[in-house]
Chains A and B, each alone.
Chain A
Amino acid sequence: MAGIVGYGVHVPIYRIRIEDIARVWNEDAESIKKGLNIREKSVPSTDEDAATIAVEAARRAVKHAGIDAHSIGAVYVGSESHPYAVKPTAAVVVQAIEAGNDVMAADLEFACKAGTAGMQMAMGLVDSGMIRYGMAIGSDTSQGRPGDALEYTASAGGAAFIIGREKKDMIADILKTVSFTSDTPDFWRREGAVFPSHAGRFTGEPGYFRHIMNATKMLFEETGFKASDFDYAVFHQPNGKFPVNVAARLGFTEKQIEKGLITPVIGNTYSGSSMIGLAATLDAAKPGQRIMMTSFGSGAGSDSFAIEVTDNIASKRRNSVLVRQLIEKNKTYIDYSIYLKNRGSIKKR
């Protein structure tokens, strides 16, 4: 089956601490930090959006893969914050990585799992022989209404994965992927609305937990694997608490998820969330190890992947920027007023 040939991540350098947000809304920062298991979140610069983040991640992925961008036959970009309502982010990426014009491309939206849906689409095209390589990106500058619980977590970042089928350049083989989808009204944003709405506690059990548990159990059934057959597990991370909880329910240990648990230090990057977690896990993985990833997108659905790392991972690592290092590089803290300005929330007329 198709596998991962390379990957790249981008996270803006700006951070805001939970204390700075809590102070504005007279809330107790310590209880929020403990309750959501998050310390700070990334904030885009004024000159960043989901397209620039996608391009930065895509360029790193091409470099990591060590392939000619012209051999990429499809580019799919999943996001909830595409800069244009009509004009594809994917076309900007195709141009910016100089992939040529003979490329299939489209923007995807499935809340926080559009990027992993893109990985499945690229796998299908690669396995059918229609293309040699496909690129799937999850990238967001997430929205959260000021004063809403989401404001503590909604952040910015993205990851790009290049999918191919030739064993010689594959760093990880995707053994199996399955999806679980249902019409669930847990979180939404209508056309033209600035901020998403959500159904509070309803987003938990009927949304996040039901879909992730079912998709992961389907993966177990179809592969014959159980939690202990994997070295690592990665889940969508709307906060730092849910993935720890769902991992325990599925029989995974905290050690299996710690490498990919990124939300406590950068927040929820929406479409980028599980994919950045996978990238951070691959940064640490050794040949022969197995990784389980299950994404989640509200609305709702989960994509689950069984991945086995190949011998090529070590030799390609010299082309990559490690996620944990990237997150710390040039990290710059801003306060709530600069955060509002960077988000474009201060109206001057």
Chain B
Amino acid sequence: MERSSASLWRKIRPRYNLVGNECKNCNTGYFPPRVVCRNCGRKSKMAEKQFSGNGTVYSFTVIRTPPDTFKDEAPYTIGVIKLDEGPMVEGHVIDTGAKLRIGAKVKMAFRKMYVEDDEGLIHYHFKFEPL
């Protein structure tokens, strides 16, 4: 995790609201945003797109050996979420209890991802929660 105000600031819109982009030529959505569409190459017409945050669990795993950043939160769930608009997004899945399964519907939540230290910045981020 970075400790730079500039880097944090640049990523705020994707992190808070899943702001990515889509190619207006073939209607393919991307998150994180891409400069060029994978399908259309030089014919790409990229435009900003805010995804709804609704999606389906494509796969998930429970992390029991976490990096230092998340050591107090283990075990926690990381999912690959297929957004309703198409893109696959990796993210924390919260409030799962024991019920999470592949194919479960989830929606975007707003949570703390990481706190630098007692005097540092708080990094807020999207996570996913079961519907």
Cα–Cα, bound, A341→B13 (Å): 31
Q: Is A92 an interface residue (CB 8 A)?
A: yes
Question: How many A residues face the partner with a CB closer than 8 A?
Answer: 20
A-B pairs with beta carbons under 8 A, tally: 46
| Chain B, residue nearest A46 (CB) | B73
Cα–Cα, bound, A332→B16 (Å): 26
The reply to whether B124 and A96 form a contact with Cβ atoms under 8 Å apart is yes
User: Do A45 and B12 form a contact, CB below 8 Å, given A55-B110, A56-B110, A92-B124?
Assistant: no
Q: How far is the CB of A140 from chain B (nearest CB, A)?
A: 16
| Chain B, residue nearest A59 (CB) | B110
Q: Is A13 an interface residue (CB 8 A)?
A: yes
Q: Is A47 an interface residue (CB 8 A)?
A: yes
The reply to whether A52 and B124 form a contact with Cβ atoms under 8 Å apart is yes
Tell me which of A45, A47, A48, A83 has the highest count of chain B C-beta atoms within 10 A of its own C-beta. Answer: A47
Cα–Cα, bound, A46→B72 (Å): 9
| Chain B, residue nearest A48 (CB) | B111
Q: How far is the CB of B125 from chain A (nearest CB, A)?
A: 9
B 115-127 to A, binary, CB cutoff 8 A, 1 in contact else 0: 0000000101001
The reply to whether A83 and B122 form a contact with Cβ atoms under 8 Å apart is yes
Chain B residues with CB under 8 A of A45:
94-95, 111
Contact among A47, A52, A56 for B73, CB-based, below 8 A: A47
| Chain B, residue nearest A14 (CB) | B95
The reply to whether B112 and A47 form a contact with Cβ atoms under 8 Å apart is yes
Q: Is A330 an interface residue (CB 8 A)?
A: yes
Q: Which of B80-131 contact A (CB under 8 A)?
A: 94-95, 97, 109-113, 122, 124, 127, 130
Q: Is B17 an interface residue (CB 8 A)?
A: yes
Q: Is B50 an interface residue (CB 8 A)?
A: yes
Contact among A46, A51, A332 for B124, CB-based, below 8 A: A51
The reply to whether A56 and B72 form a contact with Cβ atoms under 8 Å apart is no
Cα–Cα, bound, A56→B108 (Å): 10
User: Do A13 and B16 form a contact, CB below 8 Å, given A51-B124, A56-B109, A83-B122?
Assistant: no
Chain A residues with CB under 8 A of B111:
45, 47-48, 52
Q: How far is the CB of A196 from chain B (nearest CB, A)?
A: 20
Q: Is A49 an interface residue (CB 8 A)?
A: yes
Chain B residues with CB under 8 A of A49:
112, 122
Q: How far is the CB of A92 from chain B (nearest CB, A)?
A: 6
| Chain B, residue nearest A341 (CB) | B72
Chain B residues with CB under 8 A of A83:
122
Cα–Cα, bound, A332→B98 (Å): 12
Q: How far is the CB of B75 from chain A (nearest CB, A)?
A: 13
The reply to whether B16 and A95 form a contact with Cβ atoms under 8 Å apart is yes
Contact among B13, B16, B17, B127 for A47, CB-based, below 8 A: B127
Cα–Cα, bound, A92→B127 (Å): 16
Chain A residues with CB under 8 A of B124:
51-52, 55, 92, 96
Q: Which of A81-124 contact B (CB under 8 A)?
A: 83-84, 92, 95-96, 98
The reply to whether A47 and B122 form a contact with Cβ atoms under 8 Å apart is no
The reply to whether B122 and A84 form a contact with Cβ atoms under 8 Å apart is yes
Chain B residues with CB under 8 A of A46:
72-73, 112
Residues of A within 8 A of B (CB): 13, 45-49, 51-52, 55-56, 59, 83-84, 92, 95-96, 98, 330, 332, 341
Residues of B within 8 A of A (CB): 12-13, 16-17, 50, 72-73, 94-95, 97, 109-113, 122, 124, 127, 130
Task: Add 12 more A-B contacts to A47-B111, A48-B111, A96-B124 (CB < 8 A).
Answer: A46-B72, A46-B112, A52-B124, A56-B109, A59-B110, A95-B13, A96-B110, A98-B17, A98-B50, A330-B130, A332-B95, A341-B72
List the 3 closest pairs (A to B, CB-CB), nearest first.
A47-B111, A55-B110, A47-B112
